[in-house]
Amino acid sequence: AEAKATERRGNEAYQNKKYSQAIRAMSHAIEMLEQAGQGDGKDALRLRSNRAAALHARGWCGDAMSAVWDCDFVLANSDKNAKAMAAKRISCLKKGGCYLEAKRSCLQFLKVYGVDMEDDCGVSGMLESLNKMLATSTLSASSTSSDDERDSDYEDEDEDCGSEVGAEGNAEDDEMGLVSEDEEALQEAMEEEYKMVAAGG
């Protein structure tokens, strides 16, 4: 009963966008269930799913990977809402900067569940933006390598090389701006999925 009450407080905090408060409440409820030997039961799995959504929404350093851990735990212990949970995991990997792993997970997701732009939990869109980000990262690394080679041969061109690196940085910022719009749409989808999980009990 105490764990349920704590969970309700966490849900209310999440709905009011008080993510730190929500995470603390959900973590406390999970601890109580673990102490009661119910750490992998239905209630604990629901709490972990909801905590992953709160961590993703808060977005502090380390939050995304903590959310991935929660997603992995739920996927390993339940088949319920597996498709939505797998998509949430990919979104957390992407937000945490694990782009290659996120891309691999996207491809695996689409292999398992099929390509359906209207019912793939946003995974096709994530894969597209990941491909763009990885391409931009590769071009930026290539440019930096070329600049280093030029710097070693032509020390008097340091200023010009700095300008080229700055130009690449601006291009990457533009690309990241596109990704931010995609993340906003994904967050909205996660909000809807959270409501479904919370209501489903």
pLDDT at position 162: 37
164 contacts: CB under 8 Å, gap ≥ 6: 143, 147
Is the confidence at residue 164, as pLDDT, over 50?
no
Residue 48's nearest CA partner among 93, 80, 2 is 80
Is 0.75 topped by the overall pTM? Answer: no
Q: pLDDT digit string (tens) for 50-75?
A: 999 999 999 999 999 999 999 999 99
Q: How far apart are CA 139 and CA 56, in angstroms?
A: 29
The lowest-confidence range among 44-58, 103-117, 145-159 is: 145-159
Q: How far apart are CA 62 and CA 41, in angstroms?
A: 26
At residue 184, does pLDDT exceed 70? no
